[in-house]
Amino acid sequence: MLNFSLKRLASAIPTLFLLITFAFFLIRIAPGGPFDSERALPPEIEANLAAKYHLDEPLLFQYGRYIWQIVRLDFGPSFHYLDWSVNDLIIQGAPVSFTLGALALLLALMIGIPVGAWAALRQNRPADYSVMSIAMIGISVPNFVMAPLLILLFAIILGWLPAGGWEYTPSRMVLPVITLALPMIAYIARITRGSMIEVLHSSFIRTARAKGMPEKKVLISHALKPALLPVISYLGPAAAAILTGSVVVERIFTIPGVGSYFVQGALNRDYTLVMGVVILYGILIILFNFVVDLLYAWLDPRIRYDDAEVGP
């Protein structure tokens, strides 16, 4: 297991390096630069700005400079938010996005898995159909529709909750967390139901039942674990995505997370900010996929990563 973990982590380095390289050159291919604005600057002032941010150097030079910075964990100054460095922006924004994402994820798991399992036990009965129809709606209503509806109801009509803005208080978190969690609840419920049905038809469940094991025990200790495998593989990338923030939810609730920096950074040609967020996202994806692999081994006795453990 340790061997496998070390190998996986070592292989992450070239992956990240490729990611950085691609992103670095791609964002610079995009037309327009960080200092283009409604009011074109006189050429001498543009030259001053370019020199200040080393944009006047050859591209390969800039690339080398950037890689050297990254190695020292310095993501450079933001080209658009001049008062901040990219490190500042990520350090301020990431905890907000993480908090919201983690709460949404937790809520989604707490509701999605029981609901999915429950529907599976009532397969093709009215309860199953109604739960799955609601889940389908949850998946198909985009969050840019759901969020304003929630705001209209709870903030404007009922006046119970604020319409946006951020503090670490429950009242500010409720609506964004629900908006983020709803489609995930629906996904998780559907995936759980599907795999649960499959597992319930497999022979080891039949054996367990035949041995006279109580139904509750069959479900919880034998069926649920393998049924969660597809949920886990969905969760890897989904967790990385939700923890780095959602552009839509952040904009609608005016939440200062890192999600909107993705889009703002790209639109503003804020090269360093885009790179910072891409690297953060890349690291999280790699990390969560690794965690998913470990969880797999724990959940499914057929999967083992160390050759030595494969017995005859």
Partner 1 sequence: MLLRAVWFCLAFALAIVSPPGLAGGQTLHRGLGPEPDALDIHLAQSLSALNVLRDLHEGLVTFDARAELIPGIARAWTVSSDGRVWTFELDESARWSDGTPILAEHFVAGWQRALAPATGSPTVGLLDVVAGARERRTGQAGENAVGIRAIADHVLEVELVRPVPWLAELLTHPVTYPWPGEQALFSGPFKLDGRVPGSHIMLSANPRFRQADRIELQAVHWHVIEEPNVELSRYRAGQLHITETIPPGRLGWLRELFGDELRIAPYLGSFFLVFNHQRAPFADNLALRRALSLSIDRELLTERVLGAGEVPAWQLIPPGMPGWPAVDPGDPRSQAERVAEARQLYRQAGYSERRPLRVELRFNTSLAHRRMAAAVAAMWREHLGVQTRQVNEEWKVFVANRRQGRITQVVRGGWIADWRDAANFLQLFESDSPLNYSFWHDAEFDRLMASAREANGQERFDRLRAAEQRVLDQQVIIPLYYYVSRHLVHADVEGFEDNLMDIHLSRWLALR
Burial class (CB in 10 A: 0-12, 13-18, 19+), 199: buried
Counting contacts by CB under 8 A, is residue 303 touching partner 1?
A: no
**Residue 92 CA: distances (Å) to CA of 16, 104, 174, 258:** 23, 20, 20, 8
Token readout for 21 is 């390289």
Q: Does residue 31 bind partner 1 (CB under 8 A)? A: yes
d(CA 221, CA 292): 20
What would the two tokens of residue 47 be?
């030259």
Give the shortest CB-76-to-partner 1 separation in angstroms. 15
- Residue 77: beta bridge partners? 85
Distance, in Å, from the CA atom of 114 to the CA atom of 290, rounded to the nearest integer, reads: 26
Contact pick of 14, 58, 126, 159 for partner 1 (by CB under 8 A): 159
Q: Which of 11, 15, 36, 298: binder of partner 1 (CB under 8 A)?
A: 36
The two tokens of residue 173 are 């978190």
List 26, 32, 54, 204, residue binding partner 1 (CB under 8 A): 32
Contact string (CB under 8 A) for partner 1, positions 217-256, x = contact: ---------------------------------xxxxxxx
Which one of residues 2, 44, 211, 309 is an interface residue with partner 1 (CB under 8 A)? 44
Q: Pick from 180, 161, 183: which is nearest to 99 by CA? A: 180
d(C-alpha 185, C-alpha 116), whole Å: 9
Using CB under 8 A, which of 4, 98, 118, 290 touches partner 1?
A: 118
Candidate residues 17, 22, 68, 160; the one interacting with partner 1 per rule CB under 8 A: 160
Shortest distance, CB of residue 53 to partner 1, whole angstroms?
A: 8
Among 14, 29, 73, 83, binds partner 1 (CB under 8 A): 83
- Per-residue mark of binding to partner 1, 87-116 (x: CB under 8 A): -xx--xx----------------xx--xx-
